[in-house]
Structure 1
Amino acid sequence: MIEVTLDIGAVQDALVQAADALRNVLESRIQQKLSGGVLRTRSGALAASIQSSVEDDGSAVAIVGSSSGVPYAAIQEFGGKTAAHDIVAVKAKALAFGAGGGQSFAKRVHHPGSTIPSRSYIGSSFAEMSDEIAAGLKQAALEALGQG
């Protein structure tokens, strides 16, 4: 009789370790896209809002990337249409803007809304790295099983 013993815990640990290394690479790629690759950096708030983690529930290992606390993050990632709205001077007596070759001032202006194209930085990074992530996790599992 031949007996084969598998250490599932060792495989799980190897997958978590590999996923964490890949998560670091993924987060760097997302940050690169937010530094001019996809979006120009203005305040840095969107880049600072990026969070990534490795989740392990015992039966699956997942790499998760998200943005929180920045209201415009989703519309930049997925695109969409903003509603018409008024822009009102709050910190000054008037808004100043260029129009018709000169400078104009107003206490309030009506913005008709905008169509914002998708400027994916998280989803596109996952898509670009999907083969690398799959290969890295497969290699980690094979090494943990003593086959890699």
Structure 2
Amino acid sequence: MSGLTLDPDALHQALLQRADTARTALEERIVRKLSGEALQKQSGALAASIRSSIADDGGAISIIASSVGVAYAAIQEFGGKTAAHDIVAVKARALNFNGGGGEVFAKSVHHPGSNIPARSFFRGSMSEMSDDIAAGLKEAALESLRKD
């Protein structure tokens, strides 16, 4: 009689490999969203701050994606309101901007704060890829079964 055999080590390795493939694709999609799909690219600092990894404790495999070293990543992802604050010329003797019908120079200006809408690049990417990731993991599990 022919059957299927499950090798736990083979299953674990197959899932780990497929999770790493999904991790790479997820990171690429997040960076793509930060390059014009969800946010207009300015300095590229946010896209360059994206890091991803695989956590494997032997019982669970997780894909971790985060932004490292960019303070404004969370407000771009979730939205929010910035506090009123003063902007002071630091690298030059004066600030320069267009306003009131012409060019303006000032040592400082008071910014009233901004309402930043959510521009989901992490959650949006994960939502868009969740079905493909699940299908890939299922496929890897089935491929790891051996026929007797």
TM band (smaller chain):
over 0.9
CA drift of 1:123 comes to: 1.1
**Offset of residue 6 of structure 1:** 2.8
Cα RMSD of the aligned pairs, angstroms, is 1.7
**Counterpart of 1:140 in structure 2: which amino acid?**
A
Report % sequence identity: 65
TM-score by length of 2: 0.93
Secondary structure of the equivalent of 1:40?
coil
Distance in 2, Cα, partners of 1:15 & 1:4: 18
Please state how far the C-alpha of 1:4 moved relative to its aligned partner: 7.2
Counterpart position of 2:27: 27
Secondary structure at 2:36's aligned position in 1? Answer: helix
4+ residue stretches of structure 1 with deviation over 3 A? none
Deviation at 1:5, TM superposition (A): 5.0
| CA distance in structure 2 between the partners assigned to 1:66 and 1:4 by the alignment | 39
Cα deviation code 1:7-57 (max 9, x no counterpart)? 111111100000011111111111111111111111111111000111111
List alignment gaps of at least 5 residues for structure 2: none
Corresponding pairs, count: 146
Map of 1:91 onto structure 2 = 91
- TM-score, normalised relative to structure 1: 0.93
Q: Is the 8 A contact 2:5 2:145 kept in 1?
A: no
Match of 1:68 in 2: 68
Task: Pick 1 or 2: higher relative contact order, CA cutoff 8 A, min separation 6.
Answer: 2
2 CA distance for matches of 1:140 and 1:4?
15
